[in-house]
Amino acid sequence: MPVEVVSYMLTVADVKRRLQFQLILQCAPFLKGLKVTCITNVDKGVCQELRTVLSDTGIEYRILAVRKGRCLVFFFRRAAFKEYLNREDIRGFLSFHGYGCAGREADVDDILQKLSARICRYSKEDIAFPHEIGAFLDYPLEDVKGFIDNGGKNCLITGYWKVYGDPEKAQMIFLAYDKAKTSAVNEFLAGKHIRDIACAAGIKAAAV
């Protein structure tokens, strides 16, 4: 994808179109149904447009933190995210890290509130960054644990995340994510609205 195209689309005067392009560029694997969630930073001045841009997509979002004019925004499809959180391995991992969801069904809003509180505390330099966020982002647990145990060092390869477990499998996922990004961007530049791209992914994901 030409750098000139990306630079132009991220600076166009139309705020909603610029925001759509940013989300498509940075969240394509999620929009295409390959990931359960995604996260990105959005200028505080355009956050108010998220509700309109994501209308009729089935996508929800939570602003986890605001700092220096930027909002850290978490995107998810509620049913899929709730099912993911209630996987035994994910629930156990989050419970170990203090999210209190062992032995009961995970509460999406409660868990996101706790994550937000930890990120905000980190911003105030009270605690270390909550690297368990990797589990929220659908990264393989062995890689999330490896990152935490190694302090982010000694990874095997780096791509969309740092890999400590299965590099071959990770590289296949990275390639799929790259293809999703190219596809989503091309669809948008051809005139599709983000709701068309996202809804198509939602239908596909539900059918799997």
Number of domains in the chain: 1
Assess if residue 28 is contained within a domain: yes
pLDDT at residue 206, rounded to an integer:
44
What is the rounded CA–CA span in Å between residue 134 and residue 143? 8
Assess if residue 156 is contained within a domain: yes
Assess if residue 102 is contained within a domain: no
pLDDT at residue 207, rounded to an integer:
38
pTM: 0.89
Assess if residue 93 is contained within a domain: no
What is the rounded CA–CA span in Å between residue 100 and residue 104? 9
Assess if residue 117 is contained within a domain: no
List of the chain residues with pLDDT < 50: 4, 8, 204, 206-208
pLDDT at residue 208, rounded to an integer:
36
∠ Cα 154 132 22 (to 5°): 90
Assess if residue 40 is contained within a domain: yes
Assess if residue 30 is contained within a domain: yes
Assess if residue 41 is contained within a domain: yes
What is the rounded CA–CA span in Å between residue 61 and residue 77? 9
**Domain extent for 41:** 3-78+134-207
What is the rounded CA–CA span in Å between residue 30 and residue 34? 6
pLDDT at residue 151, rounded to an integer:
94
